[in-house]
Chains A and B, each alone.
Chain A
Amino acid sequence: MSETASGSAEIDEQTRRDFLIWSTVAVGAVGTALAVWPFIDQMNPAADTLALASTEVDISQIEVGQSITVIWRGKPVFIRHRTQEEINAAESVDLADLPDPQTDDARVQKPEWLIMVGVCTHLGCIPLGQKSGDPKGDFGGWFCPCHGSHYDTSGRIRKGPAPNNLPVPGYEFTSDSTVLIG
């Protein structure tokens, strides 16, 4: 009897000690994680970087068939005044042919204005096709020289290693001749 009693007291003692040890370890681990976090978080974009204002662009000077590149949050944004053929080509594509299916309609507010971030979704190069002499790839849109991604006249990925379409930023036409990006 007395043996059992002392035995169970020992077990009690054990579990109590285990509990104390593990709760100390747990509190210590949480505390360490909390202390480490600021040193990691300081690498995230700082307040002034985040506060970068939106960009307003005058588009009245862009002729049909011309493109300009503007900077928004340090990234190039392509603004293209599309020709009727380009719009037709973009709208007539069968969605089943697209690696990242999206209608042209979902990518523009006004069909003649294609506005998108000009950063290849593969590894971040800037696709060619903004200037008249540039290669435009197999689908008449943009071509990324880094690893050979082809984008169509809606900026959708058609061929090559990039997984996604060129992203469309938030924007709004503030008048017929200006657009506010961001």
Chain B
Amino acid sequence: MSGGTSNFQSNSRVVNWIEHRLPIFSFLDSQLHQYPTPKNLNYFWNFGSLAGIVLVIMIVSGITLAMSYTPHTDLAFNSVERIMRDVNSGWLIRYIHMNGASMFFIVVYIHIFRGLYYGSYKAPREILWMIGIFILLAMMATAFMGYVLPWGQMSFWGATVITNLFSAIPLVGDYIVQLLWGGFVVDNPTLNRFFSLHYLLPFVIVGLVFLHLWALHMHHSNNPTGVEIKDEKQDTIPFHPYYTIKDMYGLGIMLIFFAFFIFFAPNYFGHPDNYIMADPLVTPPHIVPEWYFLPFYAILRAFTSDYWVYQIISLGGTLMSAKLAGVIAMFASILVLLLLPWLDRSRVRSAKYRPLYRFFFWVFAIDCVILGWVGGLPPEGVLVTIGQWSTFWYFFHIIIIVPVVGILERPKPLPDSIAASVTSAPQAAE
């Protein structure tokens, strides 16, 4: 990792002995202590470290849950009930894990929208941004498979509906679904492999987080002005103690919020049907995914055979079925974010200096909320139309508005430097 200067020195012979063989002390010193950080970061810059801490909480609570959990269709549901009733502190660990998943997504979604607002995805941070999107995908896969483990009604039917999405793929679709299930329906082989992968993926995420931080430390954090660091002395402060303390403060607030749900509304984010053991012969009347999947679920369902966007992209219904179009759109809604650094033509990063982009940013944010709201309700009447127009807008924003605004907009003048933006009397550069 570059960037960090370390004038690390120690008097301890032990430390020096180790340092000579594995320069870990100077490494940590340069990356976590001296590490120069823009001095104007606001609280939106807390969410990266928060996400990291929630990941650790998920791994610790997950590994301890796994000590009492049994991945078998006959036993899984009861083993979770046993965790809730009989295992010491089991209820606490499970509620931490259950609500921790929701906290993880809240924190990460804020983190992503922070990046969208302040243009953190632009050069030279494209790879940093793309690794972030891969982390999101891995989180989604992990959470989806985790939700299957308690083997309640929503576990089973959510797994059935989502794995069946792959049957939309032409020719090999049915074969792939059978491969995922290990049978002809979601059953014990499915539960077993989901447990195996649910255990594995969080550690893959840890690996991705390291790459994410490596890329971050190459060019340092973006900041609310979007102006790069020009003079390390003027524009930055060392990470420790300034940002360690700020991150700790943010963590305290987040943990209070988290604890409120664990202790006072532990099932707020859940669905009561998941306390009914899975019954392969009875589909619940209304299947909903977890809240963090709802916007994507709304995009999936928007594609009915009479949806005009579908009619256009399938050339009047000939190219592909509406089911396949919905599946493609759902995956594309995330993958298209990988292209954002190149779709955005503006060289100004921060929306603070981009009035037109700022307006559309908020429209987009509201659009995502509407998608989430529609995704949680049965697809009936006017909701179908709302879902379809919000789906249209989601893609229209990213593919059309972002590039066009980048070209047309006249940004406001940028401050000369980070330091100049925070001093009360703006110094004229001339």
Residues of A within 8 A of B (CB): 40, 43-46, 49, 69, 71, 73-76, 122-126, 144-148, 161, 163
By Cβ-Cβ distance, the 7 closest A-B pairs, closest first, are A124-B164, A123-B164, A74-B185, A125-B283, A123-B161, A126-B283, A124-B160
Give chain B residues whose Cβ lies under 8 Å from the Cβ of A145: 283, 285-286
Kindly identify which residue among A124, A126, A144, A148 contacts B379, using a CB–CB cutoff of 8 Å: A148
Answer whether residue B184 sits at the interface, using C-beta atoms and an 8 A cutoff: yes
How would residues 317 to 361 of chain B score, 1 for a CB under 8 Å from any chain A CB and 0 otherwise? 000011100000000000000000000000000000000000000
- A49-B182 contact given A161-B304, A163-B321, A163-B323, CB 8 Å threshold: yes
Give chain A residues whose Cβ lies under 8 Å from the Cβ of B287: 125, 146
Give chain B residues whose Cβ lies under 8 Å from the Cβ of A147: 301, 379
Answer whether residue B195 sits at the interface, using C-beta atoms and an 8 A cutoff: no
Structural contact, B187 and A122, CB atoms closer than 8 A:
no
User: In the assembly, what is the distance between CA of A43 and CA of B182, in Å?
Assistant: 5
User: In the assembly, what is the distance between CA of A145 and CA of B187, in Å?
Assistant: 22
- Could you tell me the distance in whole angstroms from the C-beta of B344 to the nearest C-beta in chain A? 35
- A43-B283 contact given A125-B157, A148-B379, A161-B304, CB 8 Å threshold: no
- A73-B379 contact given A49-B189, A123-B165, A161-B304, CB 8 Å threshold: no
Closest to B284 in A: A145
Give chain A residues whose Cβ lies under 8 Å from the Cβ of B178: 44-45
Structural contact, A123 and B160, CB atoms closer than 8 A:
yes
- Could you tell me the distance in whole angstroms from the C-beta of A149 to the nearest C-beta in chain B? 11
Closest to B187 in A: A74
Kindly identify which residue among A40, A71, A73, A146 contacts B161, using a CB–CB cutoff of 8 Å: A146
Residues of B within 8 A of A (CB): 157, 160-165, 178-185, 187, 189, 193, 280-283, 285-287, 301, 304-305, 321-323, 379-380
User: In the assembly, what is the distance between CA of A49 and CA of B178, in Å?
Assistant: 11
Given contacts A45-B181, A148-B379, 15 further A-B pairs with CB under 8 A are A40-B179, A43-B193, A44-B182, A49-B182, A49-B184, A71-B281, A73-B184, A74-B183, A122-B323, A125-B157, A145-B283, A145-B285, A146-B283, A148-B380, A161-B323
Give chain B residues whose Cβ lies under 8 Å from the Cβ of A40: 179
Give chain A residues whose Cβ lies under 8 Å from the Cβ of B185: 73-75
User: In the assembly, what is the distance between CA of A74 and CA of B303, in Å?
Assistant: 30
Structural contact, B161 and A46, CB atoms closer than 8 A:
no
Give chain A residues whose Cβ lies under 8 Å from the Cβ of B379: 147-148
- Could you tell me the distance in whole angstroms from the C-beta of B179 to the nearest C-beta in chain A? 5
- Could you tell me the distance in whole angstroms from the C-beta of B219 to the nearest C-beta in chain A? 36
Give chain A residues whose Cβ lies under 8 Å from the Cβ of B189: 43, 45-46, 49
13 contacts between A and B (CB under 8 A): A43-B179, A43-B189, A45-B178, A45-B182, A123-B160, A123-B165, A124-B161, A126-B282, A147-B301, A148-B379, A161-B305, A161-B322, A163-B321
- A49-B301 contact given A125-B160, A125-B283, A145-B286, CB 8 Å threshold: no
User: In the assembly, what is the distance between CA of A163 and CA of B320, in Å?
Assistant: 11
User: In the assembly, what is the distance between CA of A147 and CA of B301, in Å?
Assistant: 8
- Could you tell me the distance in whole angstroms from the C-beta of A93 to the nearest C-beta in chain B? 19
Closest to A162 in B: B323
User: In the assembly, what is the distance between CA of A46 and CA of B182, in Å?
Assistant: 7
- Could you tell me the distance in whole angstroms from the C-beta of A166 to the nearest C-beta in chain B? 14
- A69-B281 contact given A46-B182, A123-B164, A147-B379, CB 8 Å threshold: yes
Closest to B184 in A: A73
User: In the assembly, what is the distance between CA of A45 and CA of B175, in Å?
Assistant: 11
- A126-B321 contact given A45-B178, A46-B182, CB 8 Å threshold: no
- Could you tell me the distance in whole angstroms from the C-beta of B166 to the nearest C-beta in chain A? 10
- Could you tell me the distance in whole angstroms from the C-beta of B194 to the nearest C-beta in chain A? 11
User: In the assembly, what is the distance between CA of A79 and CA of B280, in Å?
Assistant: 17
